[in-house]
């Protein structure tokens, strides 16, 4: 069944990611990597926007951000437009850390889909993209595209 296979593939993905980061001496989860990457591309966004960009629930995102801040990888500052909101951005240490982690993440992609040829991997990624886009609104934490200025 699709659900079982998706769960198993997620287990494999998490295991490979965790193993590779640990082997390189990096304390980083997939969600933390997603948050750092999104902040690199979208500095000075708030927690809710970040959660939407990586399709993660807002409550758990707070704990993820606490860990990243405690590691010195991100900074939070009060929004000048909404004193309740905290704007997020990478620190210099966070930028360096992300530059170190990104090639490792790219290198492990083939291992997550081991057993597939290059063409099969491309087709699987295309189909997974199609399925996740069509089912996005069914998620408890749907992916939300960044808002375009102007």
Rounded to whole angstroms, how far apart are CA atoms 81 and 26? Answer: 36
Report pLDDT digits (tens) over 114-126.
999 999 999 999 9
In order, the DSSP letters of 32-96 are HHHHHHHHHHS-SEEHHHHHHHTT--HHHHHHHHHHHHHTTSEEEEE-SS-TT-EEEEE-HHHHH
**CA distance linking residue 67 with residue 123, whole number of Å:** 36
**Listed residue (50, 41, 53) closest to 143, CA to CA:** 53
Contact 32, 14 (CB under 8 A): no
Mean pLDDT of 129-139: 88
pLDDT at 147 over 80: no
pLDDT confidence tier of residue 150, bands split at 50, 70 and 90? very low
**What are 38-81's pLDDT values in tens digits?**
999 999 999 989 999 999 988 889 999 999 999 999 999 988 88
């Amino acid at each position: 069944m699709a659900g079982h296979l998706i769960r198993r593939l997620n287990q494999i993905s998490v295991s490979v990611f965790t193993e590779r980061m640990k082997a390189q001496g990096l304390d980083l989860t997939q969600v933390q990597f997603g948050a750092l990457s999104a902040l690199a591309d979208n500095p000075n966004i708030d927690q809710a926007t970040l959660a939407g960009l990586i399709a993660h629930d807002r409550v758990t995102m707070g704990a993820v951000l606490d860990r990243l801040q405690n590691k010195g990888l991100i900074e939070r500052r009060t929004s000048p437009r909404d004193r309740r909101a905290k704007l997020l951005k990478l620190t210099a240490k966070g930028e360096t850390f992300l530059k170190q982690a990104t090639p490792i993440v790219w290198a492990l992609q083939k291992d997550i889909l081991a057993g597939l040829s290059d063409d099969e991997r491309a087709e699987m990624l295309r189909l997974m993209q199609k399925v996740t886009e069509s089912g996005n609104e069914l998620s408890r934490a749907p992916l939300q595209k960044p808002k375009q200025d102007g």
